[in-house]
Amino acid sequence: MLDPHFIRENPERVRTAIRQKNSGSVELVDRVLELDESYRACLTELQQNQSDANTVSASIGELMRAGKQEAAGEAKSRAAELKVNIKEKHAEAKTISGELNALLLEIPNIPHDSVPEGKGADDNQVVFETNDKPAFEFEPVPHWDLLDKHNLVDFDRGSKVTGAGFPFYLGQGARLQRALVAFFLDLAVKEGGYQEIQPPYVVNSGSATGTGQLPDKEDQMYELARDDLFLIPTAEVPITNFFRDEIIDEDDLPVKFCAYTPCFRREAGSYGKDVRGLNRIHQFDKVELVQFVHPDLSYEALEGLRADAERALDRLKLPYRRLLMCTGEMGFTQAKKYDLEVWSAGQKKWLEVSSISNYEAYQARRMKIRYRPKGAVKPTILHTLNGSGLALPRIVAALLENNQQDDRTIRIPEVLVPYTGFDVIG
RNA sequence: GGAGAGGUGGGUGAGUGGCUGAAACCACUGGUUUGCUAAACCAGCGUACUCUCAACAGGGUACCGAGGGUUCGAAUCCCUCCCUCUCCGCCA
Q: Which nucleotide's C1' atom has the smallest distance to the CA of A64? A: B18
- Residues in chain A, overall count: 426
A394 is catalytic: yes
> Tell me, what's the pLDDT at A88?
85
Task: Judge whether A265 counts as a catalytic residue.
Answer: yes
Q: pLDDT band for position A377 (50/70/90)?
A: low
Give chain A's domains with CATH numbers. 4-104 (1.10.287.40), 121-425 (3.30.930.10)
Number of helices (H), then strands (E), belonging to chain A: the values are 13, 18
The answer to whether residues A173 and A412 touch, using CB atoms and an 8 Å cutoff, is: no
> What gap in Å lies between CA A98 and CA A142, rounded to an integer?
51
* DSSP bridge partners of A146: none
Mean pLDDT of A31-55: 89
Find all residues with CB under 8 Å of A314, minimum gap 6, and list them.
none
Does the pLDDT value for residue A305 go beyond 90?
yes
Output the average pLDDT for chain A: 91
Please report residues contacting nucleic strand B, using a CB cutoff of 7 A. Answer: A 4-5, 40, 43-44, 46-48, 50-51, 53-58, 60-61, 64, 76, 79-80, 83, 87, 94, 247, 370, 372, 376, 378-379
Q: Is A77 a catalytic residue?
A: no
Q: Which residue has the higher pLDDT, A66 or A154?
A: A154
What's the confidence (pLDDT) of residue A376? 52
- Quote the CA–CA distance of A310 and A320 in Å, as a whole number: 9
A141-178 per-position pLDDT tens digit: 999 999 999 999 999 999 999 999 999 999 999 999 99
- Its ipTM equals 0.83
Average pLDDT over residues A56-72: 81
* pLDDT tens-place string over residues A318-360: 999 999 999 999 988 999 999 999 999 999 999 999 999 999 9
> Which of strand B's nucleotides are less than 7 A from any protein C-beta?
10, 18, 29, 47-51, 59-62, 68-69, 72-73
Stretch among A220-229, A253-262, A294-303 having the lowest mean pLDDT: A220-229
Q: Which residue has the higher pLDDT, A329 or A67?
A: A329
Looking at A3-7, A193-197, A213-217, which range is the least confident one? A213-217
Confidence of residue A316 (pLDDT cuts 50, 70, 90): very high
CA/C1' separation A286–B55 (Å)? 51
Beta strands in A10-164 (DSSP E): 125-129, 153-154
